[in-house]
Amino acid sequence: MPYTRPLRVALFTHSTQPIGGVVYALALAEALTDLGHDVTVHAPDSTGHGFFREVRCHVRLVPTPAATGSVADVHRTRIAAYIDFLERHAPEFDVYHAQDGISANALAVLVARGVIPSFLRTVHHLDDLNDAYLVACQDRSVVSAARCLCVSKLWQRKLMQTYGVDAAVVPSGVSAARFSADRSAEDEVWRARLDLGPGPVFLALGGVEPRKNTVKTLEAFLAVRAEFPHAQLLIAGGSSLLDHSAYREQFEQVLAGADEQTRRAVILAGTLPDGAMPSVFRLADALVFPSAKEGFGLAVLEAMACGTPVIAPAAPPFIEYLDRSDAILVDSQDAGAIAGAMAWVTDPAVYDHLRAAGLALSSRFSWDASAKAHLAHYRELHDPARAPVPVLS
Report the alpha-carbon distance of residue 147 to residue 392 in Å, rounded. Answer: 14
Structural domain boundaries, residue 78: 8-173+366-382
Closest CA to 142 of 115, 117, 124: 124
pLDDT in tens, 323-337: 999 999 999 999 999
Residue 138 within any structural domain of the chain: yes
The predicted-structure confidence for 145-175, as pLDDT tens digits, reads as follows: 999 999 999 999 999 999 999 999 999 999 9
Q: Give a yes or no: residue 108 inside a domain.
A: yes
- pLDDT class for 69, splitting at 50, 70, 90? confident
Residue 313 has pLDDT above 80, yes or no: yes
Is the same domain home to 114 and 209? no
The CA distance from 304 to 325, in Å, is 13
- Across-strand partners of 1? none
Q: How many domains does the chain have?
A: 2
Return the SS3 of 310: strand
Q: How far apart are the first and last CA of the chain?
A: 28
Q: pLDDT tens digits, residue range 256-309?
A: 999 999 999 999 999 899 999 999 999 999 999 999 999 999 999 999 999 999
CATH code assigned at 336 = 3.40.50.2000
Whether residue 214 is found in the same domain as residue 302: yes
Does the residue 63 lie in any domain? yes
Q: Are residues 209 and 155 in the same domain?
A: no
Let me know whether 169 and 190 are in one domain. Answer: no
pLDDT of residue 381: 87
Are 118 and 228 part of one and the same domain? no
Supply the pTM of this predicted model. Answer: 0.91
Per-position DSSP letters for 225-286, written without gaps between them = HTT-TT-EEEEE----SS--HHHHHHHHHHHHTS-HHHHHTEEEEESPPGGGHHHHHHH-SE
Q: What is the pLDDT of residue 1?
A: 32
Helix (H) or strand (E) run with residue 201 in it: strand 201-205
Residue 393 forms part of a structural domain: no
Percentage of the chain exceeding pLDDT 90: 86
Using alpha carbons, select from 172, 175, 148, 158 the residue that is nearest to residue 20: 172
